[in-house]
């Protein structure tokens, strides 16, 4: 379905029983709501109604040109506006990668809209900011962001040779066809620039200033995540004042929803059940 909100048009993929408890699914870079496809059967079988949002920059009708339009405040406001348009007062929220950042910030600033939170791969923004400032390993893991913030150059590098670098980045998601489902939309005019604008609008001050989360929360991290190290992951707990669970997946890469959907579904359902 298409949702008009805040002067933009968002693609939202709804599924599951219409009377089920709502779950808002927030994808990361450089994917889209299709990253949840292997998670959905378990959630729907548990009587959950899912809404996979193709976020700002990813929905073709929601691609403002200005980099400032991709600040986290705007992305969070989108999530609130989409929930409003759906008539959903509060939802269980699951976010991966940049979607996790939106989910953390949504829970911190609009706790009344989040029944429970499952953040996948990326820890609380303040934990991430602290690790970037103090942990040499995390600085090295995040060095790729310097390229992503360079307008024009990043697009050229990632899309060269039929998007070879982008395909390599997504190597852990599955077979060639699975990779293609994410790469092809990024090759559309303006799509990759819009997705990279999340990095270009990123503010260390905003990350560090994200408040604590009181919502019952599960953080799912994998020990083969090349982008997020253990220091950042384990610092996450200090920024959750509500019930908190840390789930570590062994031998799994950054692409948890694609690579370990069963384990992730188990974590999500355990969190939902804990607040039901």
200-236 confidence digits (pLDDT tens): 999 999 999 999 999 999 999 999 999 999 999 999 9
Nearest C-alpha neighbor of 245 from the set 213, 214, 219, 215:
219
- 156-to-138, 163, 230 alpha-carbon distances in Å: 26, 9, 32
Residue 102 has a pLDDT of: 98
Using alpha carbons only, what angle is made at residue 194 by residues 191 and 199, rounded to the nearest 5 degrees? Answer: 135
Task: Say if residues 110 and 76 touch (Cβ distance below 8 Å).
Answer: yes
Q: Which residues are within 8 A (CB) of 48 and not within 5 positions of it... i.e. 6 or more apart?
A: 16, 17, 20, 21, 22, 23, 92, 272
| Separation CA 187–CA 10 (nearest Å) | 19
C-beta separation of 80 from 108 below 8 A: no
Q: How confident is the model at residue 270 (pLDDT cuts 50, 70, 90)?
A: very high
**Domain spans, the chain:** 2-275
Instruction: Give per-residue pLDDT as tens, 24-35.
Output: 999 999 999 999
In angstroms, the CA 231 to CA 219 distance is 14
95 pLDDT band (50/70/90 cuts)? Answer: very high
Predicted local distance difference test score (pLDDT) of residue 210:
96
The pLDDT tens digits of the residues spanning 162-205 come to 999 999 999 899 999 999 999 999 999 999 999 999 999 999 99
Averaged pLDDT, 16-44:
98
Q: Percent of the chain at pLDDT above 90?
A: 98
Write down the CATH number for the domain with range 2-275. Answer: 3.40.50.1820
pLDDT higher than threshold 90 for residue 276: no
Q: What is the dihedral of CA 47, 119, 103, 127, to 10 degrees?
A: 160
**Rg over CA atoms, the chain:** 17
The label of the residue with tokens 């020990």 reads 223
Residue 177 CA to its chain's centroid (Å): 22
Whole-number Å distance between alpha carbons of 160 and 162? 6
What pLDDT sits at residue 96?
98
pLDDT band per the 50, 70, 90 thresholds, residue 82: very high
CB proximity list for 133: less than 8 A, separation 6 or greater: none
């Amino acid at each position: 379905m298409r949702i008009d909100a805040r002067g933009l048009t968002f693609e939202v993929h709804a599924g599951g029983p219409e009377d089920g408890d709502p779950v808002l699914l927030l994808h990361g870079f450089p994917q889209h709501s299709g990253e949840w496809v292997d998670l959905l059967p378990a959630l729907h079988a548990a009587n959950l109604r899912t809404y996979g949002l193709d976020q700002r920059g990813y929905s073709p009708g929601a691609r403002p040109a200005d980099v400032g339009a991709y600040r986290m405040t705007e992305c969070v406001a989108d999530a609130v506006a989409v929930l409003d348009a759906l008539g959903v007062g509060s939802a269980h929220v699951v976010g991966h990668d940049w979607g996790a950042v939106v989910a953390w910030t949504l829970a911190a600033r609009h706790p009344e809209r989040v029944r429970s939170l499952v953040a996948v791969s990326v820890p609380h923004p303040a934990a991430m900011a602290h690790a970037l400032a103090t942990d040499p390993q995390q600085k090295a893991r995040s060095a790729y962001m310097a390229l992503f913030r360079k307008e024009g150059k990043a697009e050229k590098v990632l899309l060269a040779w039929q998007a070879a670098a982008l395909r390599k980045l997504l190597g852990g998601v599955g077979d060639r066809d699975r990779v293609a489902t994410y790469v092809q939309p990024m090759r559309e005019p303006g799509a990759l620039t819009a997705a990279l604008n999340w990095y270009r609008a990123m503010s260390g001050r905003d990350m560090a200033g994200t408040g604590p989360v009181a919502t019952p929360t599960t953080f799912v991290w994998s020990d083969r995540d090349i982008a997020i190290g253990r220091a950042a992951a384990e610092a996450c707990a200090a920024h959750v004042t509500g019930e908190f669970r840390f789930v570590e997946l062994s031998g799994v890469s950054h692409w948890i929803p694609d690579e370990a959907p069963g384990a992730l579904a188990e974590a999500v359902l355990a969190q939902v059940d804990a607040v039901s």
